[in-house]
A = this chain, B = another copy of it.
Amino acid sequence: MIPDPFSGLAAFLAVAETRGFTAASARLGVSPAAVSQAVKALEAKLGTPLFVRTTRRVRLTETGADLLSRVAPAVADIAGAIETAGAMGDEPSGFLRLTVPRMAVPLIIDRVVPAFRHAHPGVTVEVAVEDATVDLLGRGFDAGIRIGEYVERDMVGVRLSRDIVWSVVAAPSYLATHGRPATPEDLTRHEAIRYRFPASGALYRWEFEREGRPLSVDPPGKLIVNDGALLVSFAKAGLGLSYVADIAVEQEQRAGLLVRVLEPYLPTTPGLFLYFPQRAQAQPKLRAFIDVTRKLLRLRRIEAKSHHAAIGELKG
């Protein structure tokens, strides 16, 4: 048997509170003999009687009174904690910790988290923005957003966006001055706004395809940033070419502030996904977050269709 430090306490407390074994047995829903045996076993374990009893009266000994006075508050604490834990069962509450790449902030997080907080004020949300691939369980996260379809087993991926078409963009003013690159090799004669990964410190190589084969380029650049938003804003300022996901510059393109170049050479990859451990998906806080996210992204798809935009399917 699992050694039970509480063995006999329930019976002891019931007898002490009702002042009798028969009353205690009625309260506990068992026979008087069961209560008698349980208390007797506890007394044997302690090596001292807890009650003085006649067939007509039950009185706590000094040791029993002392034990009761110390144990009763602690038992009440435990009962309260268990009740609270049980109450947490149905309503989402507690902490929801997410790790997300910076790109996901304007696309997903800025929209979903306010809606989620509004719908579930009992849940504290923590968003850790980082562009490194994160070990969810090891770092204590409940879920994460990632580019591309994760292949880690026992993880579930929920698509949050359509596929990403990568883009090289520049301001019209930049192109007027420096010309328009026609092939990836032309980039050697241009200014690139480079991206450095915060975690690893590596510079992001620009990736292309030619006739189905991958091609990687390290273009020259005198601007290096570690923030995706700066890639976009510096490009708009005419400071160079940026390599970004098309979904990050949709508005700038529509407004004519940024222009795509090298389109025939740019790849497409799966978009943003929400990942979480399969075992965790039964948790109310996570289910609630997924539900809110789906509803919001479905609304966005309806909006996008009305703008005649191509939308990727949302998958469960």
Contacts and interface: CB of A to CB of B under 8 A. Distances in A.
Interface of A: 1-6, 9-11, 28-30, 34-35, 38, 45-50, 52-54, 57, 59, 61-64, 66-67, 70-71, 73-75, 77-82, 84-86, 88-95, 122, 137-138, 140, 154, 277, 279-280, 282-285
Given A48-B86, A52-B137, 11 more contacts: A1-B30, A2-B38, A4-B6, A6-B78, A47-B90, A48-B89, A48-B90, A48-B91, A54-B277, A66-B84, A73-B74
Which of A89, A138, A285 has most B Cβ within 10 Å?
A89
User: How many copies of the chain does the oligomer comprise?
Assistant: 2
Contact of A47 (B9, B70, B81, B93): B93
Contact of A59 (B35, B67, B77, B137): B137
B48 A66 contact: no
Instruction: Give the interface SS of chain A, mostly helix, strand, loop or mixed.
Output: helix
Instruction: Give the 10 A-B CB pairs with smallest separation, nearest first.
Output: A48-B89, A47-B89, A62-B94, A47-B93, A70-B81, A6-B6, A74-B74, A74-B77, A47-B91, A46-B86
12 contacts: A1-B30, A5-B10, A5-B82, A46-B85, A47-B86, A48-B89, A48-B284, A62-B93, A63-B88, A63-B89, A67-B82, A73-B77
A52 B2 contact: no
A185 to B, nearest CB: 47
A277 B52 contact: yes
Which of A35, A49, A50 has most B Cβ within 10 Å?
A49
A79 B122 contact: no
A264 to B, nearest CB: 45
A285 B63 CA distance: 11
A74 B70 contact: no
Contacts of A285: 62
A5 B46 contact: no
Given A6-B4, A47-B92, A63-B85, A80 B75 contact: no
Contacts of A284: 47-48
B86 A78 contact: no
Contacts of A85: 46, 48, 50, 63-64, 66-67
Contacts of A78: 5-6, 9, 70-71, 74-75
A3 to B, nearest CB: 6
Contacts of A91: 47-48
